[in-house]
Amino acid sequence: MNPSTATVIGATGLIGSHLVELLSGDDHFTRVRIIARRMPDRVPQGAEVRVIDFEDPDAFRAAVEGSDALFCAVGTTRNKVKGDMDAYRKVDHDIPVNAARHCRETGCGRYLMVSSVGASSKTGNFYLKFKGDAEDEIAGMGIQSVSIFHPSMLMGKRNESRPAEEIAKILSSPLSFLFPAKYRPVKGIDVARAMVAAAKSDVKGFRVYHYSEMMDLIRKQN
């Protein structure tokens, strides 16, 4: 097998942290790289970390260089950015779009991104619009393989406290079978598993994965 480098942006989040662990234990990938704005508290053995300023295009491009699969799992909240919509857009739109651009420029053939169910450039919801705008731009870049993941409510232990989300999880989990498939709560680790499976597949073009498609990817790998 040719050496294969998997690079993760957003490795400290719920999905990103699972991605790094899964990739580090997968023989398909001989190198795992983390791109971050600060050194993560925990780094799996053998993974390398490149700490950069995401607003420095040269540093960002250099960090992506040499990747075979680039995973983007960044995201923020209104509380984190203290209501600053420009700061929100920089994380939820600018970083994923710039990552994809550097992916194309450096010859990385696979780009995999966590978005959200309901993401659309036509919605009035700022959170979903940022993600929808990003998807539209990335779709037109001509990257060989782009996989976009649309989870609904994410289940799993986060490093940060989100009280409203925790309450919603408690109320919705027992009733999840009643939800339309794409709106069903999904475990963060299952989104990560689906992303790794997609990166190892030979699917080309632009693909969007909702709950059912993510579960299909996981089943095919087992």
Q: Provide the residue ranges of all domains of the chain, joining segments of one domain with +.
A: 5-221
- Please list, in sequence order, all residues whose beta carbon lies within 8 angstroms of the beta carbon of residue 10, skipping any fewer than 6 positions away: 16, 71, 72, 73, 74, 75, 114
Contact (CB, 8 A) for 222 and 193: no
Tell the burial category of 9 from Cβ atoms under 10 Å away from its Cβ (0-12, 13-18, 19+): buried
Rg of the chain over Cα atoms, rounded to whole angstroms, equals 16
| Residue that has been written with the tokens 């289940």 in this structure | 155
pLDDT digits (tens, 9 = 90+) for 172-181: 455 555 566 7
pLDDT digits (tens, 9 = 90+) for 76-134: 888 888 888 999 999 999 999 999 999 999 999 999 999 999 999 999 998 999 999 99
Is the pTM higher than 0.75? The answer reads yes
Return the CATH fold of 5-221.
Rossmann fold (3.40.50)
